Amino acid sequence: MGDFMNIGIVGMGLIGGTYAKSLRKYPYKVYGIDIKEETITYALENNIVDYGTIDPKSVLKNLDVIFLCLYPKDTIKFIQKYIPCFKKDAIIADAVGVKRKLVDYFEMYKNDDVEFVYTHPIAGREKIGIEYSDEAIFHNANYVITPTKYNNAESLNLIETLARQMGFKNITRISDVEHDDIIAFTSQLTHAIAISLVNSDNGMYDTSLFIGDSYKDLTRIAMINENLWTELFLQNKDFLSKRIAAFEEKLDEFKEALDKNDSEKLKKIMIHSTQKRGEIK
């Protein structure tokens, strides 16, 4: 595969639209596929894709690389329905935020005609829809690739090259189990905390009159796509539950220091968090 690849993006929402905008700067032909006619019309009218369709069968045989930017269950359904339609030697890359179930399921469809590469673009916004897609979303963001024993080096390297072209800075290769464990902490737990913080508001005051950047920063992600995130939370509930329990222990430790009026303990807790946060680039 070379510079003149045909690249398909299935699911032209926020992430899919951003994939398309980011890749169109290069000499690839970008195809957009979506179930909504109005989304494809928007993509074509705004020059986000070279070609758009609501009929995957009409273009899949032409595509060298396909990015599936769909919800977890929809990603599986798409493969179930269209696996016979892909071009021989096509590379299919997902964008699902949890990996174990997907890897297990896709390996059932393992064949010599196509190759699955499991990826996770760790980027997004609280808004959804192609109209909010923006190349800046990917700039300097993290991208994770989950190799399996069925992947070849050329395919992994190609996906990594495309990720760098789209603006991702740190690209990490990690197993599906390791991915789901750390993502439960860095992404899912943070969303759970933001949701719980907003929902703990007792409504006694007009909160908007008393908030600063700290509240805004902590709660931005509480504006959440409930359908997508319900799937992600439940598919990773074992790791997420453990991370919540560990967080509860630290919050209880903080509360205990408060209840005991233990200023030294509070200072130690905050010094430790300052040091830990300072280690993150």
DSSP assignment, residue 35?
A: S
Q: How many domains does the chain have?
A: 2
Is there a domain that residue 227 lies in? yes
Whether residue 86 is found in the same domain as residue 109? yes
Sheet holding 6-10, edge to edge: 51-53, 29-33, 6-10, 65-68, 90-94, 114-122, 142-146, 170-173
Residue in this structure with the two tokens 């903080």, named with its chain if needed: 254
Closest CA to 141 of 105, 186, 93, 175: 186
Whether the full predicted model's pTM is greater than 0.75, yes or no, is yes
Residues 167 and 98 in one domain: yes
> Is 159 found in the same domain as 30?
yes
Q: How far is residue 20 from each of residues 16, 126, 214, 246, 280, measured CA to CA in Å?
A: 6, 19, 34, 39, 30
Q: Are residues 187 and 159 in the same domain?
A: no
Amino acid code (one letter) for 86: F
In a domain, 70, yes or no: yes
pLDDT digits (tens, 9 = 90+) for 174-189: 999 999 999 999 999 9
Cα-flanking dihedrals φ and ψ of residue 91, to 5°? Answer: -110, 125
Is residue 89 located within the same domain as residue 76?
yes
- Is the same domain home to 14 and 94? yes
2 — pLDDT class (breaks 50, 70, 90): low
| pLDDT, tens only, 212-243 | 999 999 999 999 999 999 999 999 999 999 99
Dist CA 1 CA 64 (whole Å):
8
Helix (H, G, I), strand (E, B) or coil at 29: strand
Nearest to 228 by CA among 130, 131, 126: 126
- On whether both 156 and 46 belong to a single domain, the answer is yes
Instruction: State the CATH number of the domain containing residue 37.
Output: 3.40.50.720
CATH code (residue 248): 1.10.3660.10
The residue that leads in pLDDT, 30 or 203, is 30
Do residues 170 and 182 share a domain?
no
pLDDT, one tens digit per residue, over 106-147 is 887 777 789 999 999 999 877 889 999 999 999 999 999 999
The CA distance from 58 to 250, in Å, is 54
Q: What secondary structure does DSSP assign to 42-110, as a single string? A: HHHHTTS-SEEES-GGGTGGG-SEEEE-S-HHHHHHHHHHHGGGSPTTEEEEE--S--HHHHHHHGGG-
Quote the domain boundaries for residue 116. Answer: 6-174
What does the pLDDT look like over 29-82, one tens digit per residue? Answer: 999 999 999 999 999 999 999 999 999 999 999 999 999 999 999 999 999 999
Same domain? 123 vs 53: yes
